Amino acid sequence: MYIIAGLGNPGPKYADTRHNAGFAAIDCLSEMYLIPVRERKFRGLVGQGFIGQEKVLLLKPLTYMNLSGESIRAAMEYYDVPEERLIVLCDDINLDLGVLRIRKSGSAGGHNGLKNIIFQLATQDFKRIRIGVGKQPEEMDRISYVLSHFDSEEKARLLDAGKRAAEAAAMILGEGLEAAMNRYNGKGSE
């Protein structure tokens, strides 16, 4: 089994904010592969199904961003899933809106959700797909920016990025990480 976890904050107040790009990507996967993500388990919303031949658990932690690792660790322990079968989808303010960056491992890069996952799992060795939400304006602090809402044009570009992030996750399962990196890294909307 693979666990594909999208990071975000629960509740209507945070819907459609930059920090919820990971949730948006999980929603795309859910729709594309007909895997409803509605069951409450592991302090999150989950759905089980198949992407190609691979059994997957889609997970949206409801612990708020800074404690995402608690939900992910609980699911990994329950299903005895090793870190090499974890894929995390999250926002990245260092990438232009809609650009994807896929990595095999790495630091948190200032992202509190990734920081907590690394802390909870005691490793940086898990795959992640970062979704560019645009660079933070100088006049705005980081927290205000990641919790800000997209305008209608940005929202359309995020939806496209969420779909491509979902396709990239599926490609990792079917063709491997290198293939997904070659196809999707550094690319935005065509």
What's the rounded Cα separation, in Å, for the pair 90 and 8? 8
Question: From the candidates 3, 9, 19, 87, which is the catalytic residue?
Answer: 19
In contact, 29 and 4? CB cutoff 8 Å: yes
Q: Look-up: residue for tokens 């329950």?
A: 78
Is 19 annotated in the active site?
Answer: yes
In contact, 103 and 33? CB cutoff 8 Å: no
Q: Look-up: residue for tokens 């305008």?
A: 151
What's the rounded Cα separation, in Å, for the pair 59 and 4? 6
Task: For residue 184, give every residue at least 6 positions away whose Cβ sits within 8 Å of its Cβ, in sequence order, or none.
Answer: 100, 102, 129, 164, 165, 167, 168, 171
Q: Look-up: residue for tokens 């990480």?
A: 177
How many helices and strands, by DSSP H and E, does the chain display? 6, 7
Known catalytic residues are 19
